[in-house]
Structure 1
Amino acid sequence: MRTRTGLLAAAMTAAIVAAGCVAQEDDPPAEDTSAAAEDWEPELVDGELQPLPDGFPDDDITLVNVDVAGSRDGIYARDLQRILEDISPVDITVSDEPATQGGTVYAMADVTTRPGGTEGYYPIISSMPGTSTDFLIEPIEDDLGLTLEDITFLISTEVHPYVIAQRADAPWGQSFEKFVEYGQENPGDLRYISHGVGSGQDLAMEWMLSELGIEVQKIPGEDSVQEVAAVAAGEGDFTMNRPDDISPVEQDGRIESIFFSSEEVPEAWADIPGVASAKDYEKFGLPDASWGVVLGFMLPAEVPDLHERWLYALFEAATETEQYQQRGETVPALQLQLLSTQEATDVAHDAYDFAGPIVREAGLGAEENE
Structure 2
Amino acid sequence: MSIARSSRIGAALRGLVFLLGAALVPAAAQAEWPERPIHVVVPYPPGSSPDLLARTIAAPLSKALGQPIVVDNKPGAGGNIGTRMVAKGTPDGYTLVYTINGPLVTAPELYKNTLGYDPLTDLQPITLVATSPNVLTVPAALPVENVEDFVKLARERQGALNYGSVGPGSSAHLAMEMFKSEAGIELEQIPYSGFPQVISAIIAGDVQAGFMVPAIAMPQVQSGKVKALAITSLEPSPSLPGIPTMDKQGYPGFEAISWNAILAPAGTPAPIVERLNRELAQIINSDTVREQLAKQYFTAAPSTPAELTERIRKDQANWNAVIKRLGLSLD
- TM bucket normalised to smaller: 0.7 to 0.9
Query: Could you say what secondary structure the match of 2:95 adopts?
Result: coil
Query: Corresponding residue for 1:237?
Result: 208
Which residue of structure 2 aligns with residue 358 of structure 1?
Answer: 322
**CA–CA distance in structure 2, aligned partners of residues 220 and 314 of structure 1:** 36
Task: Tell me the CA shift for residue 267 of structure 1.
Answer: 4.1
Query: Residue 322 of structure 2 aligns to which amino acid in structure 1?
Result: I
C-alpha distance in 2, partners of 1:325/1:189? 42
Select the structure of larger CA radius of gyration.
Answer: 2
Q: Which residue number in structure 2 is paired with residue 70 of structure 1?
A: 47
Tell me the alpha carbon deviations over residues 122-164 of structure 1, each in whole angstroms, 9 at most, x when there is no partner: 221122354221222336x656464522222221121132211
Question: Could you tell me how far apart the structure 1 residues matched to 2:34 and 2:299 are?
Answer: 33
Q: How many percent of aligned residue pairs carry the same amino acid?
A: 20
Q: Are positions 1:297 and 2:262 aligned together?
A: yes
Give the one of 58, 70, 91 matched to 1:94: 70
Contact preservation (8 Å) 2:163, 2:210:
yes
Contact map agreement 2:53 2:293 (CA 8 A) in 1: no
1:151 to 2:123 alignment: yes
Residue matched to 1:325: 290
Shift in Å at residue 316 of structure 1? 0.7
Q: Does 1:164 align with 2:129?
A: no
Q: 2:306 aligns with which of 318, 331, 342?
A: 342
- Where does residue 314 of structure 1 map in the other structure? 279
Q: Tell me the amino acid that sits aligned with residue 92 of structure 1.
A: P
In the alignment, the residues of structure 2 paired with residue 161 and residue 337 of structure 1 have an alpha-carbon distance, to the nearest angstrom, of 13
Equivalent positions of 1:15-164 (< 5 A) are: 54-60=30-36, 61-88=38-65, 90-100=66-76, 101=78, 102-112=80-90, 118-138=91-111, 142=114, 144=116, 146=118, 148-164=120-136
CA separation of 1:105/1:344 partners in 2, compared to 1, >3 Å: closer, same or farther?
A: same
In structure 1, distance between residues paired with 2:324 and 2:173: 13
TM-score of the two chains, using structure 1 as the length reference: 0.72
| Gap regions ≥5 residues in structure 1 | 1-27, 29-50, 113-117
TM-score normalised by structure 2 residue count: 0.79
Instruction: Mark the runs of 5 or more structure 2 residues left unpaired by the alignment.
Output: 1-18, 20-26
Hey, what does 1:270 align to over in structure 2?
241
The equivalent of 1:6 in structure 2 is none
Shift of 1:361: 4.7
Q: Distance in 1 between matches of 2:34 and 2:141?
A: 57
Give how far 1:237 is off. Answer: 1.9
Is the deviation greater in 203-212 or in 56-65? 56-65
Q: Report the 3-state secondary structure (helix = DSSP H, G, I; strand = E; otherwise coil) of the residue aligned with 1:196.
A: coil
Distance 1:325 1:220, change over 3 A: closer
Higher helix share: 2
| Pair 1:104–1:245, CA change in 2 (3 A) | same
1:145 and 1:321 map into 2 onto residues whose CA distance is 33
Contact 1:264/1:278, CA 8 A, preserved across alignment: no
| C-alpha displacement of 1:210 | 0.7
Preserved CA contact (<8 Å) 1:81 1:93? yes
Q: Which amino acid aligns with 2:302?
A: L
Verify the 8 A CA contact 1:56 1:307 in the aligned structure 2: no
> Structure 2 vs 1, CA of residues 81 and 152 (structure 1 numbering), >3 Å: closer, same or farther?
same
Partner of 1:198: 169
Matched residues in 2 for 1:154 and 1:365: separation? 29
3-state SS in 2 of match to 1:257: strand
CA deviation string 1:62-101 (max 9, x = no partner): 322223443323332322222124422x313213132302
Which amino acid is the alignment partner of residue 228 of structure 2? S
Corresponding residue SS for 2:168: coil
Once the 2 structures are TM-superposed, how far is the Cα of residue 268 of structure 1 from its aligned partner?
Answer: 5.5
Q: Find 1:226's aligned residue among 197, 220, 223.
A: 197
Deviations 1:227-248, CA, capped at 9 Å, x for gaps: 2222222233211122222223
Query: Offset at 1:250?
Result: 2.2
Assess, with a 3 A threshold, how the Cα gap between structure 1 residues 146 and 336 changes in structure 2: closer, same or farther. Answer: closer
- CA 1:52/1:308 → structure 2, altered by over 3 Å: closer, same or farther? farther
Task: Give, in angstroms, the shift of residue 252 of structure 1.
Answer: 2.8
1:287 matched residue in structure 2: 253
Is the 2:246–2:252 Cα contact (8 Å) retained in structure 1? no
User: CA separation in 2, counterparts of 1:294 and 1:209?
Assistant: 22
